[in-house]
Amino acid sequence: MFEYFYNEIFRKTIISFGTLFNDITIKQTDSTVKVPLAYGPTQKFLARLEESPDLNKRTAMTLPRMSFEFTGLTYDSSRKVTTTQQITVKDPTTGQGSKTKKAYMPVPYNMQFELSVMTKLNDDALQIVEQILPYFQPSYNLTVQLVETIKEKRDIPIVLENVTMDDQYEGNFTTRRVLLYTLRFSAKTYLFGPVSTATSDIIKKSSINYISGGSKSVERDVTYSVTPRATKDYTGDILTNLTEDIDEVQTTMNVTDGTALTVKTYVDVDDEEMYITKITSNKITVERGKDGRVAAAHVNGSEIKGITAADDALIELGDDFGFSGEYTQDAELF
């Protein structure tokens, strides 16, 4: 059911949230101070203050400063969309019109954040908070590119939920005072599943049968047929070997025997499907990562296996050959 993918959406949202507050400055008596921002729980910074109470030392952690933390995650049913609908775009990484990338509609989740403002003087805290609050009424839209492979950008509303203030002042008169403002936010982000690649390489054909039902009604029965093609080697027939190491983007490579290969055919190299476009002696030119197979680095001596009609006959049960059996809106011509 599950496959590995990582769109880094949580990471991108956390970083984008932090960038909202990483350039705040305050004015003191005779200078302008930029307020440092760090990621981590507030208690960690308060503990450091207690361990180094002399805030005037150069080596101590000084105030004011801010910290933020990702604190929770909840599903947002109010923003739910149709789960079976897909986003289909041309492959932005190749620019080839014959290749598309598909992803199902995203799932809405709310990420909770806490932003802590720690100061020694009340005026410092008021300056920082006043520079933040006017932008949230109560939300601020932040544009984030959530999925790099399809260049999917979304406006993520950052909603200010509440603000609390705590005066950390306990003990005798030698104890340093810490004013702590806590601002709680919700980021209304979207989680995308894996992005699949669809190409025109898989052979398909459709036929339309018309069944007349009389002058008043005509029934049109649309049927499909498909010619299956294997996307990996099943028979284990080794045609030749690589004679060099290649990386994941290299398209020309040297082989032991170029005569064992044929132009415009598919081969399997360590579970990566390639399409041969040119053969010059023992050097071949290929298209990498066909049919959604991930292009990877290969070492000298790797086996190059052929994908032939014999492999087509051995396609594993459950492989739909890239054809789901359901026609799209574009196919409803009648």
Mean pLDDT of the chain: 78
| pLDDT confidence of residue 291 | 80
Pair 190, 110: CB distance under 8 Å: no
Provide the sign of the torsion angle of the four alpha carbons 289, 294, 300, 302, taken in this order: negative
Residues of the chain with CATH 3.30.2000.40: 9-197
Q: Which of 50, 287, 288 is nearest to 177 (CA)?
A: 50
Confidence check: pLDDT of 15 > 80:
yes
- Answer for the pair 97, 119: CB distance below 8 angstroms, yes or no: no
Alpha-helical runs (H) found in the chain: 9-19, 42-51, 122-132, 309-312
Looking at per-residue pLDDT, the higher value among 329 and 271 belongs to 271
| CATH number for the domain running over 238-312 | 2.40.30
Nearest Cα neighbor of 254 from 229, 222, 279, 236 is 279
Judged against a pLDDT cut of 60, whether residue 55 lies above it is answered with: no
Residue 200: is its pLDDT beyond 50? no
Give the residue carrying structure tokens 């003087």. 121
Query: Of the CATH numbers 3.40.50.12240, 3.30.2000.40, 2.40.160.60, 1.10.150.80, which one belongs to the domain with range 9-197?
Result: 3.30.2000.40
144 vs 68, 126, 157, CA distance in Å?
Answer: 19, 29, 10
> Please, where in the chain does CATH 2.40.30 lie?
238-312
Averaged over 103-129, what is the pLDDT?
90
- Let me know: does 274 contact 286? Beta carbons within 8 Å: yes
In angstroms, the CA 136 to CA 160 distance is 6
DSSP state of 193: -
Comparing 188 with 232, the larger pLDDT belongs to 188
Q: How much is the pLDDT for 243?
A: 95
Give the side-chain half-sphere CA count within 13 A for 265. 17
CA–CA dist 237, 252 (Å, integer): 22
CA distance 43 to 140: 27
pLDDT digits (tens, 9 = 90+) for 262-316: 999 999 999 899 999 999 999 999 999 888 788 999 999 999 999 988 887 776 5
310 SS3 class = helix
Percentage of the residues of the chain whose pLDDT score is greater than 70: 72
Least confident of 43-57, 157-171, 318-332: 318-332
The reported pLDDT for the residue numbered 230 is 80
Alpha helix segments (H runs only) across 52-170: 122-132
Confidence at residue 202, expressed as pLDDT on a 0 to 100 scale = 40
